[in-house]
Amino acid sequence: MLTMILKRAGMAIPSLIGVVIVTFLLTRALPGDPAAYFAGPAATPQAIEQVRVKLGLDKSLIAQFGNYVVDLAHGNFGTSLTTGQPVVSELITRLPASAELTLLGLLVSIIIAVPLGILAATKPNSLIDHACRIATTLGVSLPVFFTGLILVYVFYYQLGWAPAPLGRIDVFFDPPPAYTGFYLIDSLIAGQPETFMAALKQLILPALTLGIFSLAPIARMTRASMLAVLSSDFVRTARASGLASYTVIVTYAFRNAMLPVITTLGMVFSFLLGANVLVEKVFAWPGIGSYAVEALLASDFAPVQGFVLTMAVMYVALNLLIDVLYGVIDPRVRLEA
Amino acid sequence: MTVIATTPQREGGLAALIKHSRYIIAENPVTGFAFALFVLIVLAAILGPEIVPYNPLTSDTAQALKPPSAHHWFGTDQLGRDVFSRVVVATRLDFFIAVASVVLVFLMGGLAGVAAGFFGGWTDRIVGRVADTIMAFPLFVLAMGIVAALGNTVQNIVLATAIVNFPLYARIARAEANIRRDAGFVEAARLSGNADWRILAFQILPNVFPLLVVQMSLTMGYAILNAAGLSFIGLGVRPPTPEWGIMVAEGAQFIVSGEWWNAAFPGAALMVAVFCFNLLGDGLRDMIDPRRRT
Amino acid sequence: MAATPALSVEGLSVEFRTRSGIVRALDNVSFSVDKGETIALVGESGSGKSVTAYAVMGILDPAGKVTAGRAMLDGLDLLHASPSQLADVRGRKIAMIFQNPRTALNPIRPVGQQIADVLIRHGNVPRKEAPAQAVEMLRSVGITDPARRAKAYPFEMSGGMCQRVMIGIALAAKPWLLIADEPTTGLDVTTQAVIMDLVNDLASQMGMATIFITHDLALAGQRSSRIVVMHAGHVVENAPTRELSTNPRHPYTAELIAATPDSAASLDELASIPGSLPDLRRTDLPPCRYSERCPRKIDACAQPLPYAGGSISHIVACWNPLPASSEFEAKASAA
């Protein structure tokens, strides 16, 4: 098991190197001149040139890349031009916000999509089956920011059930002490139930937005996988043995069907990381997505590089986690590897 | 559970396809509906600018932000432009973005994939590395980066979408090419002196096409959503060009003040189109490989 | 002979709805199995023997439908029972084992647990004691070191062992009737014999009736007291084994016997049955589905078949059967 993990981690390294290179090149290609920006609007050409030298931007691209890699090795992701803060510290504060939102969105999605998929598979080609397919496809046919806007319009503007989309927690509350950065967990650890509720209320709509967006692939894969498993030989044996319906569908069929669904989760998480960026803009969420977008539009490349690299590492870590989970459920992977 | 029957005689190509399609549509009316919708969209794309009542670009600030009425079926936007006309005319651009992205990614990913599967060795490794690197990025973020770096024109949006979907197409094409590398008709082509690239382009790639056509339908939907998302951040097409995504993005700010039609109608059009492409993709999948019906 | 049979199939007809038409897979199939009796259901691929079993067990493919008939098991018509009645009876009174034992077992569940599931469900065994009893069950099907093996997964076991496990699952709740659908296909010859012995032994220990489904007439002849021959969804002959092998009366049975390697003196003499199965989607199928390839066809064959049920010992569904030998003719007229 451990060897498998190390092997997979090793295989991911070339991709990460590729990510670093591509990000570096892309950000260097961004329009705008950071030196001019940094020097200020009233600077003379000589002053700008001085700033350029100070920032190391006069060196060749290769040399700049070299410096960048060395910095990375020291955990230095550079400094944001727009905020003046080191990118690393900003990422550390903002990452939990995005992670909490994405994970909750994924959870919402799983809770809705998996039962739907199972239901659709037990009654294939029925009205329920078609209805599930249409509903989930609708969810994924809307731009994710539009879904968010509709939810805000209906639940905040019209019905007043949800709070204003103004970030992680209502202004009247102090955020909980930062153990993990996850407001829900931290408020529970600190024994602050009202803070927990306040944070939860703010999380509902954006998490629902992300959830709706990822319903379709999860439901579709659950349905397809369940259909395949329900017509398999061993389910036939289970039925022929007269096992109870619940045992057949859940203990025998579902556990086997979950395997491809878990691998799909990795892909879905990647979608969500991208969609995160848009949702954070709609709900004014102080996460890394909004951080990166603002930086991108201002041609501030250090945060963008840091963001992309973080995302890539997170994605690799998540896929590893999924492989491990797969191994826990499927003994064939565990024992034959 | 085997069914007791002898294999039916295979009827000739097109007739069989039509009969099979009719069976699938009868089993699954949703697919038939998607087909009809698709035709409607194509018609709107082709005829759109000719049949709309108003010029989509003419602004008339006196008429700004009027709700839907008999004069303006979908209301007017913040510059007094007729939303209905803009939505219909935008069909052409969005459809173009969808089709262009898909053609480009099919060629790029398809050719790279079949080359990788056919030649193996270094070609395979390089294509693999490129695909892995692309996949290590959250895809939307990569698209954002590409458009930000190269400039937000329609061509770059199409290019970004193609690049982001490249790994998926390359992977499917590669798997197929691997299988067919030693197929009879390939050997025959080789023996009759065809250069490798000709074999790739004219023998293998067309065989890979049916597998990819399902994915292409889904990618068409994705391309439009991508363009919309980019517009929302400010990296989409430039105003005043009518495009569903930018119309929703611009209209978004008016939702909270109650002028919902600005964003709702282009949003609905967008949703209908993407929905149609998704259902079409499912239907195509049923037609091509009944074993893998989703 | 007058006691209620363990299973009585009467007039079973099954249709399948397919893309290219309706397949009349079974037509008026009737036979019965007495308590403790072992019979064989024999026929070539596509004859409908597996479909019969699946219909009786109620696990037909969704495209299949029982259009007529009854299958009486202990007073319950299996073909018209409710899902809960069926789930109650399956495993407890009637059980089935399948071909391809490896794929027929849950790949991610230890085999001992799979047996325990049946014990808990049907055997009135408390959850805590089930694992131990499962181990005992594994022992009784001849698996060595059963305590350790109970925790193993199917992919860690050989085909023969998997089949033993499946037998264990099927017999865990001591059913009255076991249907064995080609249980030895895919196993090597030695293992085949061992598995068949195992089933026979357990059946006689438990007083259980068995239906062996096989395309191998020789195998059927060795293990069963009665053979039911099927062709294209019909029962064509139903007789005690010895009678059938020495005096087959249906032309098809005779061809089948001639095609069995055992009975041919050499490979050159090995006959093959001319023609092939008729297309069961045809709406113009003749009443006797063998008639189109039958060398003994006469005009009478256009009529509906003589009813192939009843309590006579040797049933033949044919208008022009092969002559009965004197030995058995006397028996037949006396019955």
pLDDT per residue as tens digits for the range A294-331? 887 777 777 887 887 888 778 777 877 888 888 788 88
**CB-closest option in B133, B138, B293 to A311:** B138
Question: In this complex, is the C-beta atom of B252 within 8 Å of any C-beta atom belonging to chain A?
Answer: yes
**CB-closest option in A234, A236, A255 to C59:** A236
Could B5 and C60 be called an inter-chain contact, meaning their C-beta atoms sit closer than 8 Å? no
Question: In this complex, is the C-beta atom of B23 within 8 Å of any C-beta atom belonging to chain C?
Answer: yes
For residue C57, the chain A residues in CB contact (below 8 A) are 240
Subunits with 3+ C-beta pairs closer than 8 A to A = B, C
Helix (H) or strand (E) holding B104: helix B83-119
Subunits with 3+ C-beta pairs closer than 8 A to B = A, C
For C83-88, the CB contacts below 8 A with 24+ separation are C83/A245, C86/A242, C86/C58, C87/A242, C87/A243, C87/A244, C87/A245, C88/A242
**Cα(C245)–Cα(C239) distance, integer angstroms:** 9
Question: In this complex, is the C-beta atom of C55 within 8 Å of any C-beta atom belonging to chain B?
Answer: no
Half-sphere exposure in the Cβ direction for A158 (13 Å, CA): 11
β partners of residue A86 = A79
**Cα(C120)–Cα(C327) distance, integer angstroms:** 51
Instruction: Report ipTM (2 d.p.).
Output: 0.84
CA dihedral B144, B150, B156, B160 (to 10 degrees): -40
Question: In this complex, is the C-beta atom of B141 within 8 Å of any C-beta atom belonging to chain A?
Answer: yes
Beta-strand pair C94-97/C209-214: unpaired
pLDDT digits (tens, 9 = 90+) for C30-78: 888 988 899 999 988 888 899 999 999 988 888 888 999 999 998 889 8
Per-residue pLDDT of chain A (337 residues; tens, 9 = 90+): 677 777 777 777 777 777 778 777 777 776 666 666 666 667 777 777 777 777 667 777 777 778 777 877 777 777 777 777 888 888 888 888 888 898 899 999 999 999 999 988 888 878 888 888 888 888 888 888 888 888 888 888 788 787 777 777 777 777 777 777 788 887 888 888 888 888 888 888 899 999 998 888 899 889 889 988 998 999 999 999 889 888 898 889 998 988 888 888 888 888 888 888 889 988 888 888 888 888 877 777 778 878 878 887 787 778 778 888 887 888 877 665 4
Beta-strand pair C64-73/C76-77: antiparallel
Could A31 and B151 be called an inter-chain contact, meaning their C-beta atoms sit closer than 8 Å? yes
Percent residues over pLDDT 70 in chain C: 90
Structure confidence at residue C325 (pLDDT)? 67
Question: In this complex, is the C-beta atom of B126 within 8 Å of any C-beta atom belonging to chain A?
Answer: no
Q: Which residue of chain A has the CA closest to B226?
A: A143
Could C121 and A242 be called an inter-chain contact, meaning their C-beta atoms sit closer than 8 Å? yes
Question: In this complex, is the C-beta atom of A200 within 8 Å of any C-beta atom belonging to chain B?
Answer: no
**Cα(B174)–Cα(A255) distance, integer angstroms:** 31
Question: In this complex, is the C-beta atom of A223 within 8 Å of any C-beta atom belonging to chain B?
Answer: yes
**Cα(A193)–Cα(B111) distance, integer angstroms:** 58
Q: Which residue of chain C has the CA closest to A247?
A: C117
Could A335 and C87 be called an inter-chain contact, meaning their C-beta atoms sit closer than 8 Å? no
Chain A: nearest CA to C64, how far in angstroms? 14
Helix (H) or strand (E) holding C316: strand C315-316
Chain B: nearest CA to C286, how far in angstroms? 17
Hey, what are A11's tokens? 């295989």
Q: Which residue of chain A has the CA closest to B34?
A: A134
Interface test with B, best of C17, C19, C22, C231 (most B CBs within 10 A): C19
Question: In this complex, is the C-beta atom of C98 within 8 Å of any C-beta atom belonging to chain B?
Answer: no
Q: Give B23's pLDDT tier (boundaries 50, 70, 90).
A: low
Chain C: nearest CA to A234, how far in angstroms? 4
For residue A332, the chain C residues in CB contact (below 8 A) are 107-108, 153, 155
Q: Is the pTM of this model over 0.95?
A: no
Task: Summarize chain C as % helix, strand, coil (round to 5).
Answer: 35, 20, 40
**CB-closest option in C18, C61, C64 to B5:** C18
**Cα(C226)–Cα(C233) distance, integer angstroms:** 19
